[in-house]
Amino acid sequence: MRLRRQPGVREAMATYPGLVPLNGEEYKGKWQTFFGNSNPIHVELGTGKGNFITTLAEQNPHINYFGVELHEEVLIKAVKKAEAKKLTNIVFLWINIQDIENYFAPEEVDKFYLNFSDPWPKKRHARRRLTNSEFLVKYKRLLKPDGVIQLKTDNEGLFEYSLNQFAQELFLLKEITFDLHNSEYAEGNVMTEYEAKFVERGMKIYRCVAEHPARLAAKFEEQKERS
């Protein structure tokens, strides 16, 4: 995504320490102390302008939400949405997802959301896709053993690639749909800014949930005991 640099955005970000802690690494493994509670942690990777994560935060005050975003020009819009809604259960990490392990400890996260991640269609750019197995290995370490990753995309190629990468990393796939808005998972779906644009153009949305491999192992043991 090409963004025009807006003067003063970086400085503006520093004026929201409660929403954009610039010392986030210090809270790795200790986000409970930041929020003052031990509520579950849900993280959107590549949060963009933040409609999805701020709406969820408003709907679910007993979950602590994180929006992770590299580009300040879009992130500032998400931060302003959270401020307008007076949310106290949300934090934005202004970082590269590559470095996510500097901000969360192993098994600190309950759920990751990947919404309309950049598809990087060229094969030589495959490692940049946020569902590349190198990224999935990181998410897997940070997820609780009963944690999940929820993915939505308009891009068939990225969806197919992601399903294969999840399978390669032994995630257990469920709730797969090739047309979210005409599926049983449509109810309660919160749209992102990109999603709203694609839906308006009549495009179909792909969606799936990938469970941590520990769940697969537990289910396998259960089945073994039953047989």
Ligand X SMILES: C[S@@+](CC[C@H](N)C(=O)[O-])C[C@H]1O[C@@H](n2cnc3c(N)ncnc32)[C@H](O)[C@@H]1O
Please report, as ranges, the residues that interact with ligand X according to CB under 6 A.
Answer: 1, 46-48, 68-71, 74, 96-98, 115-118, 192-195
Nearer Cβ to ligand X (152/172): 152
118 is catalytic: yes
> How many other C-beta atoms are found inside a 10 Å radius of the C-beta of residue 119?
19
Give the C-alpha separation, 150 to 177, whole Å: 12
Amino acid at 155: N
Nearer Cβ to ligand X (74/208): 74
Nearer Cβ to ligand X (65/172): 65
Local structure of 102: helix, strand or coil: helix
Beta bridge partners of 207: 152, 177
Give the active site residue among 118, 146, 154, 179: 118
CB of 134 to ligand X, least distance (A): 12
Give the C-alpha separation, 65 to 56, whole Å: 8
CB of 46 to ligand X, least distance (A): 3
CB of 156 to ligand X, least distance (A): 15
Angle at 204 between CA 175 and CA 93, to 5 degrees: 70
Nearer Cβ to ligand X (117/165): 117
> Checking phi first, is residue 5 left (phi over 0); if not, alpha (psi -120 to 50) or beta?
beta
Amino acid at 9: V
CB of 225 to ligand X, least distance (A): 41
| Positions marked catalytic | 118
